[in-house]
Amino acid sequence: MVRTILVIGAGKSTSYLLDYFLKKSNEENLHIKIGDLRPEHIPDTVAKHPNCTVFGLDIFNETDRKKAVADASIVVSMLPASLHINVARDCIEFKKHFITASYVSDELRALDKEVKENNLVFMNEIGLDPGIDHMSAMEVIDRIRDAGGKMLLFESFTGGLVAPESDTNLWNYKFTWNPRNVVLAGQGGTAKFIQEGTYKYIPYQKLFRRTEFLEVENYGTFEVYANRDSLKYREAYGLQNALTLYRGTMRRVGFSKAWQMFVILGMTDDSYTLENSEGMSYREFVNLFLPYSPTDSVELKLRHYLKIDQDDIMWLKLQELNLFDDSKKIPLKNATPAQMLQYILEDSWTLKEHEKDMIVMYHKFGYELNGEKKQIDANMVVIGENRSHTAMSKTVGLPVAMATLQILNGKITTPGVQIPIKKEVYKPILEELKANGIRFKEFEVPYLGYNPDSVAG
């Protein structure tokens, strides 16, 4: 009997996911239905596959959405996180398993009782970060605990970056995922974590100036800034007694210091709109955030404001973005400063067709075993193929696809709204990811964590 996988949303992260389903479609008796607001954007290699049907779907059209869910064997939502909830409720109504790569929202978590009553699996956070980070971390943490070890330290960092061969700008960065999320990173709360037994808090205006460095063999040095809430996985990972729990985002060294210029200027603010945004030039946009002067140029005012010289690399980074160009216009109506900045950055930081992205993930595990403190570090590097088949789409899409098939085939059965931290979930998926070139290198290093005899930082 043919089983129907409904995929709702076919954006940037779905190229490998759809390829995986279609490759498995004959042996697994699958028919893939793809519902998207713009079905014409789906490539012919997918849309014209004999085991695939592409159709237009507006998820706010309740009748069409419910019919699509009712006709499916299992549902994968690749929509933005805020749009999952109605699809999830439909899945309960029609008793369908549900898979997303997004963080579990409070609304979705509130459905847990109903999901369990209907014996359904609602798997979330099964992409890259969140996703591969959970699975790879729990594999090592469970191994340490199974050997009798006690966890003392866990740090986890991920970066969606540009591959070295396509790194052609002074920022060492190009967009490999949702640009809006990059522009708004760190906003909406204070970053909080625990480090060497001490709670730490970093407000947004200081976030990009509190960085740490990491070395990845063959790929050089990276910097890390803290994620908003490192403590929310303390219970899920069973790390209530760990002295250090710290999660962060990786960038190339120098990115965060340069990004801080936008924070200082107020260009990342998304809380108000600019009345006259439509048709504004890049140069006029910059001038909005600077004091008036009857004589000084925009360039001079900006250098004074940021206290940078014209031979400073920071100044060269701003120039590289064409920020002082009066001929380049922004076509956005009633846009926020953050939306305006995003438009300008996309002009410079969009991958070209042949360019490649890179995913880097780095974990640190500190533990005590038989009275001795030890540490394991593990890292993963994945390079994309091109602009459509990116490392980001591979590391987000493949775990989602693999989990979908595991659930459909009755291999993952524990019901409820969940994330992939159980062995029944992460073991087979990590094994299959290895076969697809997504693997971690582990190495033992001296334990560098908390020493109770020293003065804590």
Q: What would the pLDDT profile of 293-345 be if each residue is shown by its tens digit?
A: 999 999 999 999 999 998 999 999 999 999 999 999 999 999 999 999 999 99
Q: Is the pLDDT of residue 452 over 80?
A: no
Give Cα separations from 148 to 135, 137, 367, 424 (angstroms). Answer: 20, 17, 10, 21
Q: Is the pTM of this model over 0.85?
A: yes
Task: Evaluate the CA torsion angle 93, 94, 95, 100 in order and state its sign.
Answer: negative
Element (H, E) at 379: strand 372-383
> Tokens standing for 27?
């042996």
d(CA 228, CA 11): 25
Per-residue model confidence (pLDDT) at position 354? 94
Q: Is the pLDDT of residue 448 over 90?
A: no
**Tens digits of per-residue pLDDT, 2-61?**
999 999 999 878 999 999 999 999 999 999 999 999 999 899 999 999 999 999 999 999
Q: What is the phi/psi pair of residue 84, to 5°?
A: -70, -30
Rounded average pLDDT over 165-183:
93
Report the mean per-residue pLDDT for the chain: 94
Burial state string for 381-414 with b = 16 or more CB within 10 A and e = fewer than 16: bbbbeebebbbbbbbbbbbbbbbbbbbbeeebee
Q: Any idea what the Cα angle at residue 195 is, between residues 199 and 160, rounded to 5°?
A: 110
Per-residue model confidence (pLDDT) at position 449? 67
Per-residue model confidence (pLDDT) at position 13? 84
One of 1.10.1510.10, 3.40.50.720, 3.30.465.10, 3.40.50.2300 is the CATH number of 3-124, namely: 3.40.50.720
Q: How confident is the model at residue 455 (pLDDT cuts 50, 70, 90)?
A: very low
- DSSP lists the bridge partners of residue 54 as 34
Report CA dihedral (201, 207, 210, 216) to the nearest 10 degrees.
110
Domain ranges (residues) in the chain: 3-124
Rounded average pLDDT over 277-285:
97
